[in-house]
Amino acid sequence: MLDFTVAIPTYNGASKLPLVLEKLRSQINTQNISWEIIVVDNNSSDNTAKIIQDYQSRFYEFVSIKYFFEPKQGAAFARLKAIKEAKSTYIGFLDDDVLPDQNWVSAAYSFCQAHPQAGAVGGQIHGDFEVEPPPEYRRVYPFLSIREHGSKPILFEPNRLNLPTTASLVISKKAWDESVPDRFTLSGRVGSSMVASEDYELLLYIYKNGWEIWYNPEMESYHKIPADRLERNYLLSLSRACGLPTYFLLTINAKSWEKPILFARTLLGNSRRIILHLIKYRGQVRTDLIPAFDLEFFWGSLLSPFYSFYKLRKNK
């Protein structure tokens, strides 16, 4: 069995994958780590397969690159495929637009070795912006998979939905096999749908089974953010979409008697937030992005119980 797998789910990532693979070819301090790279093509229509074929010959003496095709679109399905095919103790997920630092693999593996109860470990993700955003946009950074929690390791608080993102995340194969079901309720962004949070779903299953979720600042990476990701319409759609799974995520680790309380708290709490927000900002929500962004998240969270019932009924 190998020590470590780097798994890269991708959809039409032909233009992005070479940057990630070159970063992986430049990894240092991996002499005593047996590892592999897996690319899961999530039903791409570009030449992703050809790109990987070219790199397989280039990487032959360095580390093996394996290509797998997953026809069911959705990040959750791609990650399930990667877990199934990985032949290692730990699987490090990287999005196809996230560039790992040169010691990412060694920092990830060393941390997991030192924390055997860690079911998942998130890294420090910096923004690599095509166009530099104004300072107030820092409010939206976490929604763009930018995570900078300081220079010291910390334990996440899953019950408060304080969790890392799978853009740069290491999973214990044992923790996944013991905890994560074969089917997710949330499948990730598919087609025009912006609703994601399938990464939070799998992490909550792992936490529910007694595993710890850690932040390792030594696992540094850089998320490339194109200019169109900072446009108002995109960000407002993203904000509401991130709010919609809130109630479902809160119920994963809740007892049966707690769910009606969570239902009422979600409706009443977000109704109050919306009213107070409109009173405070009034017309600013039409002109200023950040107040509008927060309002969209509150609306998504308010609707989240009904979205949860819809998803659960649909998946039966």
The whole-angstrom separation of Cα 9 and Cα 228 is 22
* pLDDT score for 312: 74
What does pTM read for this prediction?
0.92
Q: Which of 232, 157, 161 is nearest to 200 (CA)?
A: 161
Q: Which of 250, 287, 291 is nearest to 269 (CA)?
A: 250
The helix (H) or strand (E) run that includes residue 220 is strand 212-225
Q: How would you classify the pairing of strands 88-94 and 98-100?
A: unpaired
The domain locations on the chain are 2-227, 234-314
Please state, in angstroms and as integers, the Cα–Cα distance from residue 173 to each residue in 88, 125, 246, following that order.
7, 22, 26
Single-letter amino acid code for the residue at 196: A
Single-letter amino acid code for the residue at 46: D
Q: CATH for 2-227, among 3.20.20.70, 3.90.550.10, 3.90.580.10, 1.10.520.10?
A: 3.90.550.10
What are the φ and ψ backbone dihedral angles of 58, each rounded to 5 degrees? -70, -30
Q: Which ranges constitute the DSSP H helices of the chain? A: 17-25, 48-58, 75-85, 104-114, 173-179, 198-208, 232-243, 246-252, 258-281, 284-287, 289-314
DSSP string, 59-104: TTTT-EEEEEE--S-SHHHHHHHHHHH--EEEEEEE-TTEEEPTTH
* pLDDT score for 58: 77
* pLDDT score for 84: 95
Full pLDDT tens readout for the chain, 316 residues: 899 999 999 999 999 999 999 999 999 999 999 999 999 999 999 999 999 999 888 776 678 999 999 999 888 889 999 999 999 999 999 999 999 999 999 999 999 999 999 999 999 999 999 999 999 999 999 999 999 999 999 999 999 999 999 999 999 999 999 999 988 887 666 555 556 678 899 999 999 999 999 999 999 999 999 999 999 999 999 999 999 999 999 999 999 999 999 999 999 999 999 999 999 998 899 999 999 999 999 999 999 999 998 877 776 6
Residue 36's region, left for phi above 0, alpha for psi from -120 to 50, else beta, is: beta
Q: How would you classify the pairing of strands 98-100 and 168-172?
A: unpaired
